[in-house]
Each structure stands twice: as C-alpha cells, then as structure tokens.
C-alpha cells in the first residue's frame, strides 16, 4: 500500500509543478464488453462506468498531440458473475486533429469484489486502462477500451489478473 501511495504522490508532485490547464471538459464514459479475455476461461459480460474530472495538472504538446494533463478519475465495473470493482486514479488523455481522436491511458488503485467471478488474490488491486476514441458528434465519443486488473504480487501472494475488452461511449460536458 505504501508503494501505491508513494507512486500517486510522485505523480501529483511531478505534474503539479506545471501550471494548471484551463478548464477542460469532464467525461462520463460507459462501456460494455467481455470480462477476462485472457486467458478467456470466464466469459461473462462486464459493464463499466468512469468519470474523468475536467480539471487536472500539467498539459501541453507531446508526441505531436495535445496532452490534456493529468486528470483524476473514478470508476467501477460489474460483471454477470456478480463480480465488481471500484477504482480511483489518474488519466493522461491526449487528443489529435482538434480533438477528433483521443487516447487515454489511466492507472489507479481498486477494491475488488469476487462474487462468483475470477479469483484475483484479494480485495486490493491495481487498475490499468487504455481508451481510444473518436468524436462522433460534439460532446459524444465512441471507442474501445482495454482494462487490466491485478495485484502485481505486491498486495497478495496470488496474482491471476484479468483483462476486460469493451466498446465505449463517452459524454463530454
């Protein structure tokens, strides 16, 4: 747990040194897809919701795109095997072509409820996510997302991990 808190504090410090971005839009993301795609032994359906806050730290041009800064996010998913996860962390969204395309890696800490779903070693987990989307109309994005949840054998002795592939819809406001 100290490692997670240290990493989050380092992230805030490193990006907090830069001036705060002008207010961007918040994003509410919904996703539906397959839970546990690799090793693919639990073929349940997962529903995902995530809120990315508008205000963050840093920002600017990187890799030819527009880095929107480090944004706090919260989210959850449930699956049809009564498993679920709540998470909090940070997203690093980047946009290209005046916001038409967006790529958003994210990371955070999570609390997992197994239900009848995959055993991940315990409640405390790490959450890693990648979203790629395109603006469909003003304020609406469509895309795909990949989420990885595991404890990295730091928090528990067993580290099976799971991956979720989903179709996403994001609402910007």
pLDDT tens profile 130-149: 999 999 999 999 999 999 99
- When pLDDT is cut at 50, 70 and 90, the band that residue 12 belongs to is very low
- Residues above pLDDT 90, as percent of the chain: 61
User: Please, are residues 36 and 77 in contact by the beta-carbon 8 Å criterion?
Assistant: no
Instruction: State how far the alpha carbon of 172 is from the alpha carbons of 24, 51, 88, 135, in Å.
Output: 9, 10, 19, 10
Asked if CATH classification 2.40.160.20 holds for the domain at 2-172, the reply, yes or no, is yes
pLDDT of 128 > 90? The answer is yes
pLDDT of 41 > 90? The answer is no
Residue 16 confidence (pLDDT)? 42
User: Span 34-39, mean pLDDT?
Assistant: 84
Q: What CA–CA distance (Å, rounded) separates 51 from 47?
A: 14
Domain residue extents for the chain: 2-172
Tokens describing residue 121: 């070693």
User: Please, are residues 103 and 137 in contact by the beta-carbon 8 Å criterion?
Assistant: no
Give the 3-state secondary structure of residue 58. Answer: coil
Residue 52 confidence (pLDDT)? 97
Nearest residue to 52 (alpha-carbon basis) of 141, 136, 137: 141
pLDDT tens profile 73-102: 999 999 999 999 999 999 999 999 999 999
Nearest residue to 148 (alpha-carbon basis) of 70, 89, 96, 95: 89
User: Please, are residues 99 and 85 in contact by the beta-carbon 8 Å criterion?
Assistant: no
Of the ranges 12-26, 40-54, 138-152, which one carries the lowest mean pLDDT score?
A: 12-26
| Helix or strand (DSSP H, E) at 4 | helix 2-16
- When pLDDT is cut at 50, 70 and 90, the band that residue 71 belongs to is very high
Residue 65 confidence (pLDDT)? 62
Residue 155 confidence (pLDDT)? 74
């Amino acid at each position: 747990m100290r490692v997670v808190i240290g990493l989050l504090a380092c992230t805030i410090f490193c990006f907090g040194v830069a001036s705060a971005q002008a207010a961007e839009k918040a994003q509410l993301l919904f996703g539906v897809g397959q839970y546990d795609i690799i090793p693919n032994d639990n073929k349940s359906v997962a529903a995902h919701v995530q809120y990315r806050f508008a205000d963050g730290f840093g920002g600017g041009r990187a890799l030819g795109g527009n880095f929107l800064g480090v944004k706090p996010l919260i989210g959850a998913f449930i699956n049809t095997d009564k498993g679920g996860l709540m998470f909090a962390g940070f997203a690093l969204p980047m946009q290209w072509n005046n916001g038409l395309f967006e790529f958003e890696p994210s990371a955070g800490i999570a609390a997992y409820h197994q239900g009848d779903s995959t055993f991940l070693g315990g409640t405390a987990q790490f959450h890693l996510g990648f979203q790629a989307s395109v603006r469909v109309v003003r304020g609406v994005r469509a895309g795909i997302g990949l989420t990885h949840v595991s404890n990295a054998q730091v928090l528990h002795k067993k580290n099976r991990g799971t991956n979720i592939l989903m179709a996403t819809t994001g609402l910007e406001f």
